[in-house]
Amino acid sequence: MTDLARRYRVSTRRSAELALIIGAWLLGVFAWILVDGATSNSSLGGWTSLISAGVLMLVTHTIIRWQAPYADPIIFPVAAALNLFGLAMIHRLDVSAAQRAAANETAAPTPDVYLQIMWMAVGLVLLMVVLFIVEDHRQLQRITWISGLVGIILLFLPLLPGLGSTVNGARLWIHIGGLTFQPGELAKVSLTIFFAGFLVVRRHTLALVQTKILGVGVPRPRDIGPLLAMWLFALLVLILERDLGTSLLFFGVFIVMLYVATGRRSWVLIGSGLLVVSGFLAYRAFGHVQIRFDVWLHPFADANGNGYQIVQSLFGFANGGLFGTGWGQGYPDLVPFAKTDFITSALGEELGLTGITALLLLYVILIERGARAAVATRDPFGGLLAIGLTTVLALQTFIVIGGVTRLIPLTGLTTPFLSYGGSSLVANYIILGLLLRISNAARRPEITMSTEMIEVNQ
Amino acid sequence: MSDLLLSVLRIAFLITLWWFVFTVISVIRRDLQAPRDAKPLTPARSSNGPSPRPSLRSRKGTTKLVITQGVLEGTVIPLGTSPITIGRASDATVVLEDDFVSTQHARLTPNGTHWIVEDAGSTNGTWINNARVTSPTVLQQGEVLRIGRTSLELRS
């Protein structure tokens, strides 16, 4: 493959990727040193974690060089950088939890950062496995329906008595052995594969327009079935698992993919209409949804009760200001769930607007590269799959950061690559593996055209 | 660590973070420009002034279309009497796999003594010597026809 690249003088840009990976790692080390310096924490355990994270990243880079030599050089380093910032922040919160325990003379809680590095390793290994198994992303089109079935099973697995458990009101976790896992995160991947395979076959029918209202083509009523089915499915997730975020994410991804597949704006309008209807229904039916909305509109009305978390988060951002308090010098541990849902407000406090803007730019770049792979892919299935997977990352980032900054009502989701949470990290690395595979196909020079083919046409 | 050192390092971290972001952006920029960096585009003839009338000699001389730059660099397309279509579509005569090329990008039609370039409604345009083709234009030998990241020339 590299031989071919040399002959056609197509740069694979793998060395740029390596340089960016090293840069990302050094930044992560810098952050970690600052945390330990500011909190006067001895960093003996830190170096082993940092070095193992670095080695893992280099191994992944080598496998990408071998298995997907033309893949986009930006995608992996940017995700790895976000992951390293997440690790530094989780470590920082571990340190303050330990210090608080020492002050209260209670037993120190076990640090979470080592578990997160273990999950990072699992995620990177699965990324490599994806690159090995999926030699061509078009193979995935063959498992469209199996993938859909697996997705539904994974999503509803926590409902099984004995296996599933309810944490913080949402029934999303399963226990296997001593480990807890959120199978719904993996369902994101398999359901996106299903959507892509399903829509690529139906896209021409779904794009048919019968009448036009106000200049917007309206699809035929009998084609609305899939969208309605998806809507009911999302409602079912909301009702049975009490999870607003996951339900919103799946429905949003489906609408975006439907729009990309058909190019009809009317689908977006119909989808948004259904979203408003279900939002209203959920508001009336569920107490927890109602609380979320009320807290969003009037957070300070109940600042010490239901609004406590979001108010603390806003205080954190305010305390951070333009340049932040610096690693280890703020009070991000005052926000409940700072390691998971609210890691953005922790980073916002310690890095300030300047730092959080840079992090958001990294997300924008990651999403742009995913969309770029989708545009450049030669086959419609690959394009749809890439845009679907990118939308999973984009919507998740928007929903959770929008919620933390009080732009939209808060829904429990993890920030991709940043938050503490193994299932989410593993699923996001699998998504990354698929995106790398698709971008490899998109950027590989086409060599099937021979001169004979042209001569026939003359 | 002292407070002074910590605040210096705090700003240093933010600067490094932004430096990383800008490095990523510069890699993206170079990624877009990579083929052009490899060989800067130098038009063989100035596009200023009216093009000379094609002579009978050039018709006789023009026998092939050569790809001088791009993924298919070095490919020679023999010219006959039938039109040539260029685009990303698999049924085009010259299939260019390039993000900047439209499905139906351009058409080259023989017209008596010369070859005429037409843009087939492409997004990024068809260019002759850095001038965008807006109406059917005669392509002279030695002029550079640019489509996406590919450059083509008529040769005898």
ipTM: 0.88
Q: Band of the pLDDT at B130, cuts 50, 70, 90? A: confident
Determine the pLDDT at residue A355: 94
Model confidence at A414: pLDDT above 60: yes
Q: Please say whether the beta carbons of B71 and B95 come within 8 A.
A: no
Helix (H, G, I), strand (E, B) or coil at B41: coil
For chain B, give the percent of residues with pLDDT over 90. Answer: 12
More confident residue, A180 or A216: A180
Closest-CA residue in chain A for B98? A376
Q: Band of the pLDDT at A446, cuts 50, 70, 90? A: low
* Contact B120/A at CB under 8 A: no
For the segment A314-333, the average pLDDT, to the nearest whole number, is 90
Taking contacts as CB-CB distances below 8 angstroms, the residues of chain B near A378 are 97
Determine the pLDDT at residue B39: 39
For the segment A58-62, the average pLDDT, to the nearest whole number, is 95
* Contact A329/B at CB under 8 A: yes
Determine the pLDDT at residue A84: 95
Taking contacts as CB-CB distances below 8 angstroms, the residues of chain A near B5 are 37
For the segment A423-438, the average pLDDT, to the nearest whole number, is 94
- For chain A, give the mean pLDDT: 85
Residues 6+ apart with CB under 8 A from A417: A79, A82, A83, A86, A425, A428
Determine the pLDDT at residue B99: 76
For chain A, which residues make up each domain, given as ranges? 3-457
Q: How far apart are CA A184 and CA A204, in angstroms?
A: 30
Q: Measure in Å the smallest separation between the Cα of B129 and chain A Cα atoms.
A: 23
For the segment A10-16, the average pLDDT, to the nearest whole number, is 79
Q: Band of the pLDDT at A45, cuts 50, 70, 90? A: low
Model confidence at A116: pLDDT above 70: yes
Phi first, then psi: give them for residue A82, nearest 5 degrees: -60, -40
CA dihedral sign, ordered A368, A369, A371, A375: positive
Q: Band of the pLDDT at A245, cuts 50, 70, 90? A: confident
Q: Band of the pLDDT at A44, cuts 50, 70, 90? A: low
Model confidence at A458: pLDDT above 80: no
Q: Measure in Å the smallest separation between the Cα of A134 and chain B Cα atoms.
A: 23
Determine the pLDDT at residue B57: 43
Q: Band of the pLDDT at A5, cuts 50, 70, 90? A: very low
Most A CBs within 10 Å, among B3, B13, B98, to test the A interface: B13
Max CA pair span of chain A:
86
- Of A73-77, A294-298, A415-419, B55-59, the one with minimum mean pLDDT is B55-59
- For chain B, give the mean pLDDT: 77
The answer for A327, left when phi > 0, alpha when psi is -120 to 50, beta otherwise, is beta
More confident residue, A382 or A245: A382
Strands (E), A291-448: none
* Contact B32/A at CB under 8 A: no
Determine the pLDDT at residue B25: 93
Closest CA to B115 of B87, B152, B75, B147: B152
A170-176 β-sheet, strand order: A164-167, A170-176, A179-181
Q: Band of the pLDDT at A401, cuts 50, 70, 90? A: very high
Facing residue for A378 by CB, picked from B24, B94, B97: B97
Interface of A with B in 49-88 (CB under 8 A): 73-74, 77-78, 81
Say how far residue A313 (Cα) sits from the centre of its chain: 21
For the segment A139-151, the average pLDDT, to the nearest whole number, is 90
Determine the pLDDT at residue A60: 95
Model confidence at A36: pLDDT above 50: yes
Q: Band of the pLDDT at B37, cuts 50, 70, 90? A: very low
pLDDT digits (tens, 9 = 90+) for A226-236: 888 888 888 88
- Of A372-381, A390-399, B131-140, the one with minimum mean pLDDT is B131-140
For the segment A412-441, the average pLDDT, to the nearest whole number, is 92
Model confidence at B53: pLDDT above 60: no
Model confidence at A255: pLDDT above 60: yes
* Contact B4/A at CB under 8 A: no
For the segment B51-68, the average pLDDT, to the nearest whole number, is 60
Q: Band of the pLDDT at B66, cuts 50, 70, 90? A: confident
Facing residue for B13 by CB, picked from A30, A78, A361: A30
Determine the pLDDT at residue A202: 84
* Contact B93/A at CB under 8 A: yes
CA dihedral sign, ordered A218, A219, A222, A226: negative
Model confidence at A24: pLDDT above 90: yes
CB spacing of A13 vs B25 below 8 angstroms: no
Model confidence at B78: pLDDT above 70: yes
Max CA pair span of chain B:
84
Interface of A with B in 21-50 (CB under 8 A): 23-24, 27, 30-31, 34, 37-38
Contacts of the segment A393-400: beta carbons below 8 A, 24+ positions apart: A393/A363, A393/A366, A393/A367, A393/A428, A393/A431, A394/A363, A394/A367, A394/A370, A395/A248, A395/A249, A395/A252, A395/A253, A395/A256, A396/A249, A397/A363, A397/A367, A399/A245, A399/A248, A399/A249, A400/A245, A400/A341, A400/A344
More confident residue, A211 or B23: B23
pTM of the entire structure?
0.77
Q: Please say whether the beta carbons of B114 and B139 come within 8 A.
A: yes
pLDDT digits (tens, 9 = 90+) for A305-322: 888 889 999 999 999 989
Extract the tokens encoding A115. Answer: 């578990």
Q: Please say whether the beta carbons of A392 and A413 come within 8 A.
A: no
Determine the pLDDT at residue A453: 42
Facing residue for B27 by CB, picked from A9, A73, A325: A73
> Most confidently modeled of A99-108, A135-144, B16-25, B128-137?
B16-25
Q: In this complex, how many residue pairs, one in chain A and one in chain B, have their CB atoms less than 8 Å apart?
A: 111
CB spacing of B20 vs A352 below 8 angstroms: no
